[in-house]
Amino acid sequence: MTDTTPGFDTLQIHAGARPDPATGARQTPIYQSTAYVFRDADHAAALFNLQEVGYIYSRLTNPTVAALQERMATLEGGAGAVCCASGHGAQIMALFPLMGPGLNIVSSNRLYGGTVTQFSQTIKRFGWSAKFVDTDDLDAVEAAIDDNTRALFCETIANPGGYITDLDALAAIADRHGIPLIVDNTTATPYLCRPIEHGATLVVHSLTKYLTGNGTVTGGCIIDSGKFNWSNGKFPSMSEPEPAYHGLKFHETFGPLAFTFHAIAIGLRDLGMTLNPQAAHYTLMGIETLSLRMERHCANAVKVAEWLEKDPRVAYVTYAGLPSSPYYPRMARICPKGASSLFTFSLKAGYEACVKLIDSVELLSHVANLGDTRSLIIHSASTTHRQLTEAQQIAAGAAPDVVRVSIGLENPEDIIADLDQAMTKAGA
């Protein structure tokens, strides 16, 4: 290779992947092994003391998963990455070293419904709490942060509404308060946006969606920017002596890779949210075509959204790739290659028409997923956001009269035709 940095299309194929040293296999093998033989007792001791990097046990490290971690860190422009069993697992693992009883996070209120539930209900069992704010209201974000706040959390492109977040503005607020900005980049992918370039400290992904791209894998990933000062007095897990490793201080010892090592040595060790090597292999193969797929996803989404916006049965469309969207100017700065393919539209005929529409589609699949090659549809208020109050649903962009679509790679004319016939049957 030359001294110039390879382009995204090259990196999505080659980063983290090398011919197998044992066989010469060009595709990354699936290392379906639980444990790894140590060279000798000293080698084993060095690995367990974090004095040497290597493979011990696949709950912690695995060669196939390691290849995926290197690829994700490279594509996001991070110092390191840790993969785990799901996107929800990635969120908990991202918070785990930062939090403690009585501490809180400030989070966008425009989130995937399962994340709202995780933050508003489940993390209470750890003694943590979340404050939900409209991240377009920067004064409200600033006001919500207090002495016990340990992170600011948002999605690059919010699920389900497709709203684009002003990452630069949130990063500036987080910096002023000495806390990390954690960005869920699932809907955008690193092809459309690299949040670290906009000031994010940690980036989380559900590998389940666009990165794998074919609806076969459940997985998550955390990318560490390597740029945060964990020794600012707020994060003792990162800066103070760790009893389990003879007083080792993660930030002092590992510097830019402090969070990455902590997430493996303690997060995966004790939480056990391990990504299996076969899932990592599928995701590696999916990422090889990420840029090609995202270009088609975005192009199809624009065509479908434009058609919906003109249809008299539709009240509004939330796609940020439409010039009519209030987020269209922000797209040029945050996601210049496109606004992904996830958005919602509202039917003038209301809730019952939405339900009938869902039951009438033929090409689109009614599933609780997004980012597939296939076009997907769901009524969020009665499914993914069902646990929320109506006020929370509206705030999240999942009002009762709203349908969410994830536009796939089919011919856009066929997607439009299916939505048209389904709306006709629904009497929308």
pLDDT digits (tens, 9 = 90+) for 247-300: 999 999 999 999 999 999 999 999 999 999 999 999 999 999 999 999 999 999
What are φ and ψ of residue 105, in 5° steps?
Answer: -120, 155
In single-letter form, the type of residue at position 302 comes to V
Model pTM above 0.75:
yes
What band does 427 get if pLDDT is binned at 50, 70 and 90?
Answer: confident
- Angle in degrees, 0-180, between the axes of helices 290-310 and 412-426, rounded to the nearest 10: 40
Are 49 and 192 within one domain? yes
Are 297 and 378 within one domain? yes
Mean per-residue pLDDT over the chain, rounded: 95
CATH number at residue 191: 3.40.640.10
CATH number at residue 376: 3.90.1150.10
For 126-149, what is the mean pLDDT?
98
Check residue 114 and give its pLDDT: 87
Share of the chain above pLDDT 70, in %: 99
Residue 175 CB neighbours (<10 A): 15
For 350-366, what is the mean pLDDT?
94
* Residue 34 resides in a domain: yes
In single-letter form, the type of residue at position 249 comes to K
Which DSSP state fits 77?
Answer: T
* Residue 256 resides in a domain: yes
* Residue 174 resides in a domain: no
Q: CA 248, CA 51: separation in Å to the nearest integer?
A: 11
Are 75 and 216 within one domain? yes
* Residue 123 resides in a domain: no
Question: Of 286, 304, 324, which marks where a domain is finished?
Answer: 286
DSSP letters spanning 274-316? PPPHHHHHHHHHHHTTHHHHHHHHHHHHHHHHHHHHH-TTEEE
Are 268 and 206 within one domain? yes
Which DSSP state fits 366?
Answer: E
The torsion region of residue 291 among left (phi > 0), alpha (psi -120 to 50) and beta comes to alpha
What band does 22 get if pLDDT is binned at 50, 70 and 90?
Answer: confident
Q: Which domain holds residue 420?
A: 291-426
Q: CA 71, CA 410: separation in Å to the nearest integer?
A: 28
Check residue 390 and give its pLDDT: 80
* Residue 208 resides in a domain: yes
Quick one: how far is CA 256 from the chain centroid? 21
Quote the tokens at residue 133: 């704010």
Q: CA 27, CA 287: separation in Å to the nearest integer?
A: 13
Are 394 and 271 within one domain? no
- For 71-95, how does the pLDDT look when each residue is reduced to its tens digit (9 = 90+)? 999 999 999 999 999 999 999 999 9
Q: Are 313 and 157 in contact (CB under 8 A)?
A: no
CA-based Rg of the chain, rounded to a whole angstrom? 22
Quote the tokens at residue 383: 């499914």
For 31-45, what is the mean pLDDT?
94
Q: Are 403 and 317 in contact (CB under 8 A)?
A: no
Are 209 and 79 within one domain? yes
Check residue 2 and give its pLDDT: 56
Are 246 and 302 within one domain? no
pLDDT greater than 70 at residue 215: yes
3-state DSSP helix/strand/coil % of the chain, to nearest 5: 40, 15, 45
pLDDT greater than 60 at residue 1: no
In single-letter form, the type of residue at position 362 comes to E
Q: Are 127 and 140 in contact (CB under 8 A)?
A: no
Mean pLDDT lowest for which of 194-203, 213-222, 358-367, 373-382?
373-382
Check residue 399 and give its pLDDT: 85
Q: Are 106 and 128 in contact (CB under 8 A)?
A: no
Check residue 388 and give its pLDDT: 74
What band does 386 get if pLDDT is binned at 50, 70 and 90?
Answer: confident
Quote the tokens at residue 341: 């393919």
Share of the chain above pLDDT 90, in %: 87
Check residue 398 and give its pLDDT: 78
Check residue 382 and give its pLDDT: 79
Distance set, CA 181 to CA 146, 155, 166, 196, 230 (Å): 15, 11, 12, 9, 13
Residue 124: Cβ-neighbour burial (10 angstroms; 0-12, 13-18, 19+): exposed
Q: CA 276, CA 62: separation in Å to the nearest integer?
A: 9
The C-alpha angle 332, 312, 393, rounded to 5 degrees, equals: 60
What are φ and ψ of residue 118, in 5° steps?
Answer: -60, -45
Are 215 and 361 within one domain? no
Quote the tokens at residue 408: 């796939």
Check residue 400 and give its pLDDT: 86
Mean pLDDT lowest for which of 17-26, 300-309, 349-358?
17-26
Quote the tokens at residue 62: 């695995």
Check residue 192 and give its pLDDT: 98
Are 362 and 299 within one domain? yes
Q: How many helices (H) and strands (E) does the chain have?
A: 18, 12
Are 394 and 339 within one domain? yes
For 323-332, what is the mean pLDDT?
96
- Which of 294, 309, 298 minimizes the C-alpha distance to 419? 309
Top pLDDT among 310 and 393 is at: 310
Q: CA 362, CA 368: separation in Å to the nearest integer?
A: 16
Q: How many structural domains are present in the chain?
A: 2
Quote the tokens at residue 321: 């790739």
Are 275 and 305 within one domain? no
Top pLDDT among 25 and 260 is at: 260
Are 200 and 232 within one domain? yes
